[in-house]
Amino acid sequence: MKRSPARLVIALSVAAALAVFILYTSIAGAGTPQIEPSTLAQHAGQDVQLVGTVVSKPAGDAHSAAGMRFTLKDDHGTKAARVPVVYTGSVPDLFRQGRQVVVEGTLRDGTFVAKPGSLITKCPSKYSPAKSNT
């Protein structure tokens, strides 16, 4: 008995569709948006990556239950938006006032509550062109 090739075509089509779906969700569908403090209120309650510059001296201990507190402002533009951040976990060596950072978490009651261990410090001096002395 010869089997119909229609079964094989249908099975391969379903497998291909599932493969495309998995690939899409892993690359584009599962991303966490990167936003600045000026647009954070629009994403209240959502998990986001907050990008900004540290403008206040960090207070508290990142390894305690209360966490470390600092304030972030927008990196670009003239907007004066600032947001307080609470963070627990390891702190990068380069973290300090004036540094650009990325931290993942959620805005709750006006304070950005960061996920433990999500703090990343950017080092713009390595990647930006040297300033001329003219």
Q: How many other C-beta atoms lie within 10 A of the C-beta of residue 105?
A: 20
Parallel/antiparallel/unpaired status of strands 34-35 and 48-54: parallel
- Supply the pLDDT for residue 128: 53
Q: Give the pLDDT score at 124.
A: 59
Domain at 34-127, CATH homologous superfamily: Nucleic acid-binding proteins (2.40.50.140)
How many Cα atoms sit within 13 Å of 110 on the Cβ side?
0
Residue of 91, 119, 115, 92 lying closest to 103 (CA atoms): 119
Burial of 72 (0-12, 13-18, 19+ CB in 10 A): buried
Instruction: Pick out the chain residues at pLDDT < 50.
Output: none
